[in-house]
Structure 1
Amino acid sequence: MSVLKWINVGKVSAERDDELVNYFYDNGVLNSVLTNKSSFLVLGRKGAGKTAVFRYLKENPHQYLSDKDILVSLSFEDYNWKVHSLLSNSETAESLAYKHSWRFVILVEVIKAYASRCAKDGVTVPQPIAKAQTLLEKLFDHPLPSVYQLIGRKLLGLSKVKLPRAGLDLEDGSFDSVEVSGGELSFEEVSADNDIRTALAQNVSNIIAYLEAALAKIQPCEYRTVICFDRVDEAWDNVSLDVSRKVLAGLVSASDSLTAKYNGVVRPIIFLREDIFSVLPLNDSNKLREDCGALLKWDRDDLFKLLLRRLSYFAQKNDVDAVEDLDGLFDKNEMRQRSKPSNYLLKRTMMRPRDMICFLSRTIDAVKESVNDPFEETPANFDHLPVEAIYTAEPGYSEWLRQELLDEWFIQYSHIVKLLSAIQNHASTQFTRAELESQLRALGVEFTQTGILDDLRFLFDNSVVGFKIGASTTWRYRCFYPSQGFIESDLYKVHDGLIRALNLKEPRDAS
């Protein structure tokens, strides 16, 4: 059978991949987070596979969670971010300004999930949880609304709620003194009236205190609630950047405090891009990254295993033997300069699944296009993929990788556009610091010596450039050598995956 009859590597985007569950590859990041009571962050570069991990956990919780665990998965594709601002406190640190509203969201979701699980299992809902559920239903509705509705008109409605002073008689579960006024308020009405905002904030504070007390009374809990947040960067754009930074910082701060407070019984887990986390206004971001986070990173073996699992799934689906060797797919074991096809592909990635999937998928498409060449009278029947197709696919893949880099960093580091333009104008794969300065100057970019060093560090940290150490002949890029720190060097080289997109030449070809 022609290899083109069955070969497939699935979709680049996990959100759109209906087959993901059939060939998901776990590199261990989920167990790393779930088995550590203090962890609540899953960080990774764009394309590292965070959404794939989130989706697989959501659809297969039994593989990672016990029978007594409750999973709540929240993906914020359509979410009213601006309502969070109504509960912000401008007098606190930026990282704490939105902590209040996120504590409210998480606690409501936990109470709702706990009561629902008790009903499902046919067990009596603990009295503190039952009372909290009753209060929330009186305030919001029965059944309780989704988080999308909650952070919207439902939350605005709390501006017209009258709670007992300090919530004292709520301790006994007597809600007769809770008054819920009719009518709705708009975001604009609440945001423009300080008295209404004050009432809203006070009501939310009282409810948070009540919900926290309810959960504290049932510890140790029979159930553990794992509440996962994915795609929280949906509002990460030029228009909403300032607010988004504070809102996400608030989510991290709230998750940190609740994780510590409930000793792992309430487990928020945030799937977040590493580049976004790095620019959040957090006081202890380095400590949080080290103590409370797991980095979704890949090594060579895991990346190849991921590809082989995908390829084997489609092969066996078409009654073809499983694929055990990536190089065995190709008609030659070596390419130019004696590089294996697998190494050639890997060297042009930034060690992310999305890169490998995209490059191999484009290589397959290049072979299919050659079969459908309108000027070829006798189409070839391929038993293997020709290695020449890799070269054919490379320019398009390289441009894709460049665009991925811009998508990843343009919002928080728009200077990347000028840096790539300067490198492209230099036209060589290798450059010195002075040559980069010269090209930036030609573009009219003002810079300082400290700024240039920061730019070079940024380029290295994101694997755009690498350098050599001492007498070594190996170019070291962060994606291939993650423990390598930045060192100011005499010469830098652009990542092989970007060379074609930037139309660069090796120094020996400059003439």
Structure 2
Amino acid sequence: MNILDWVDVGKVSAERDDLLSEYFFDNGVLKSVIESPSSFLVLGRKGAGKTAVFKHLSDNKNKFIGEDDMLIPLSFEDYNWNVHALLVDENKAQSLAYKQSWRFVILIECIKAFREWFIQHGKKVPEQLENANKLLEKLFDSPVPSISQLVGRKLLSLSGISLPKGGLDLEDGGLDSINVSGGNVSFDDVKKDRSLQQHLSENIENLIRYLDAVLTNIVSDCPNIYICFDRVDEAWDDVSYDSSKRVIAGLVSASDSITAQYNGLIRPIVFLREDIFDVLSINDANKLREDCGALLHWAKPSLANLMLRRINYYATSSGVDMVEDLDSMFDKKEMRQRTRPFNYLLKRTMMRPRDLISIMGKIIQTMREKADDPFADGKLTFEKLEAESIYSAEPGYSDWLKQEILDEWGVQKPVIVQLFNAIQNNASTNFTSDDLARELENLNIDANKSEVLSHIRFLFDNSIVGFKLGESKEWRFKCFYPAQGFLDSDEYRVHEGLVRALNLRENRDRD
């Protein structure tokens, strides 16, 4: 049977893959973060599979949390990030500046969800909870709007509403005394008027105190609730970089405090790119990473199993025998330098699912184009994947990998473009710190010795380059050896996956 009649690996992008739930492979990160009551962060590099994990948890909550526990998945594809800037408490540290606005929306989600839980289970809604929901309906609408609707014009309307500063007492008709006739207020109205901003901030603070008091009194009678945040980097671009840093730092700080305050009964879980977390202004960021986070890391066996899960979904759907290992899919057991096909592919990835899916997809596409060559005498058929097509697919994959890294770091580290240019101009897979300094100087970029070393450390931390371990012939790249720290070396080597995109010659060719 022609392997091209059935073989596929699915889509690179999890959010666009309708079949993800059919062949998702769980590497254990969800179990790790959910079983630790203090954990609320799932960190991973771009392409590590955070959105895939988020979708899998959303679609299969009973595999990971209790039957009665609640899960609220929030994905920020369409969200008014700018509103948070109007809720800032300027008297607080920058790392806490946006904390309260996130606390507010998280608490509202909890009020809505807990009330719905009592109703669905035929139980009487606690009076405090019912009153809180009535207040939110009076302030915003009935039913209480979704988070994407709330953080917009509806929230801004609070700047024109009078709430008692001494605290909210909704017993004995207190709700009727609240005046909500503030009228429509636009973003620009609040942005230009400091008094409206101050009024908005005071009302938010007042509501947070009230909602916190309600939840504190009822949470022990409610199921655990998990509020999951994905795609919080949607506004991560060179225009919104500074504001996005503060907004995301606020979400992390709010999630930390809520997790601690409610002893894990209310659990925000934030799926966040590791490179973004690293540049946030957060107190004790390293402590949060160690104590409150789970790193979405992949090893060779887990990546192989992930790929086999995908391939075998298409195999069984076509009535083909399941594939036992990836090497058996290729027509040659060994490639150049006696490397097995899967190892050859793995060395060109940064140990991320997206990389492996991309290169495998390009191999299959290369073979399809070869089979459909309009100038060939007849249509080719293949019993197995062609090892030779790996070499043909490499240039396109290498360009893709380079662009992935530029997308990952172009905003917070724009010098990445010049670093790639300097490495490309050096023209060799291997280089020294002096080589990099010279090429940066040729690009009119001033960099002293310590700055050059800092650039190389950044390149190493992101597996763009590796270094030789002592006098051995072993090269260490961070993606393959995560525990390896940076060592100043006499010579560095560019990652195999980037060699084609940067048009580099092997070092022996240069010599």
The two structures have a TM-score, normalised by structure 1, of 0.98
Moved more, 213-222 or 292-301: 213-222
Instruction: Report what 2:271 is aligned to.
Output: 271
Task: Verify the 8 A CA contact 1:221 1:265 in the aligned structure 2.
Answer: no
**Contact 1:131/1:173 (8 A) holds in 2:** no
Are 2:161 and 2:181, in contact at CA under 8 Å, matched by a contact in 1? yes
Contact 1:164 1:177 in 2 (8 A): no
Runs of 4+ in 1 over 4 A off after TM superposition: none
* Alpha carbons of structure 1 residues 171 and 238: separation in structure 2 relative to 1, 3 Å: farther
> Which residue pairs with 1:156 in the alignment?
156
Q: Are positions 1:497 and 2:510 aligned together? A: no
Distance change in 2, residues 1:173/1:444 (3 Å): farther
Which amino acid in the other structure matches residue 298 of structure 2? W
How big is the shift at 1:171? 6.2
1:83-141 deviation digits (Å, cap 9, x = unpaired): 11111123322110000100001000111111112212222222222221111111111
How far apart are residue 182 of structure 1 and its match? 4.6
Q: Which residue of 1 aligns with 2:454?
A: 454
| Distance in 2 separating the partners of 1:282 and 1:343 | 39
Find the aligned partners of 2:68 and 2:164 in 1 and give their Cα distance: 35
Matched residue, 2:378: 378
Q: Which residue of 2 aligns with 1:439?
A: 439
Deviates more, 1:465-474 or 1:285-294: 465-474
Aligned counterparts, 1:42-441, within 5 A: 42-170=42-170, 174-441=174-441
**Residue 355 of structure 2 contacts residue 401 of structure 2 at CA under 8 Å; is this kept in 1?**
yes
Q: Which runs of 5+ in 1 are unaligned?
A: none
Q: Deviation per CA, 1:265-323: give whole Å up to 9, x if none.
A: 11000000000110011121101100100000100000000000000000000000111
Report Cα offsets for 1:456-494 as digits up to 9, x if no partner.
110000000001122221100000000000110000000
Residues 390 and 173 (structure 1), Cα distance of their counterparts in 2 relative to 1, 3 Å cut: farther
Maintained 8 Å contact 2:89/2:201: no
Whole-angstrom CA distance in 2 between matches of 1:507 and 1:34: 47
Q: 1:364 and 1:173, CA in 2 relative to 1: closer, same or farther beyond 3 A? A: farther
Separation in structure 2 between the aligned mates of residue 173 and residue 137 of structure 1, nearest angstrom: 16
Q: Secondary structure at 1:399's aligned position in 2?
A: helix
SS at match of 2:167: helix
Name the CA distance, whole Å, in 1 between partners of 2:290 and 2:320: 45
Given that 1:10 and 1:17 are in contact with CA atoms closer than 8 Å, whether structure 2 keeps it comes out as yes
Residues 40-94 of structure 1 show CA distances to partners (whole Å, capped at 9, x for unaligned) of 0000000000000011111111111112211111111111111111111233221
Paired amino acid for 2:460: F
User: Percent identity among equivalent residues?
Assistant: 58
Give the Cα–Cα distance (whole angstroms) in 1 for the partners of residues 67 and 181 of structure 2: 41
Q: State the shift of 1:495 in Å.
A: 0.3
* Alignment CA distance shift 1:266-1:173 (3 Å): farther
What letter is aligned with 2:192? A
1:429, distance to aligned residue in structure 2 (A)? 0.4
Read off the aligned partner of 1:211 and give its amino acid letter.
Answer: L
In 1: Cα distance, 2:87 partner to 2:44 partner: 29
Q: Tell me by how many angstroms 1:380 deviates.
A: 2.1
Counterpart of 1:6, as a letter, is W
Deviation at 1:170, TM superposition (A): 3.4
> What residue identity is the alignment partner of 1:114?
F
Query: Offset at 1:386?
Result: 1.1
Change (3 A) 1:28 1:172: farther
The CA distance in 2 between the partners of 1:182 and 1:430, in whole Å, is 66
Shift of 1:373: 1.0
Q: Mind listing any 5+ residue stretches in structure 2 that lack a counterpart?
A: none
Distance in 1 of aligned mates of 2:247 and 2:185: 22
Residue 354 of structure 1 and its aligned partner are, at CA, apart by 0.2
Tell whether the 8 Å contact from 1:27 to 1:302 is kept in structure 2 after alignment.
yes
TM-score by length of 2: 0.98
Amino acid of the structure 1 residue aligned with 2:30: L
The range that moved more, 16-25 or 136-145, is: 136-145
Counterpart-to-counterpart distance in 2, 1:412 and 1:158:
34
Deviations 1:406-444 (A, max 9, x none): 000000000011111000000000000111101101110
CA distance in 2, matches of 1:472, 1:184: 70
Given that 1:163 and 1:177 are in contact with CA atoms closer than 8 Å, whether structure 2 keeps it comes out as no
For the residue of structure 1 that corresponds to 2:476, the secondary structure is coil
Q: Residue type of the partner of 1:73?
A: P
- Asked if 2 retains the 8 angstrom alpha-carbon contact of 1:236 and 1:411, the reply is yes
**Residues 168, 210 of structure 2: 8 Å contact kept:** no
Q: For this pair of structures, how many residues does the alignment match? A: 511
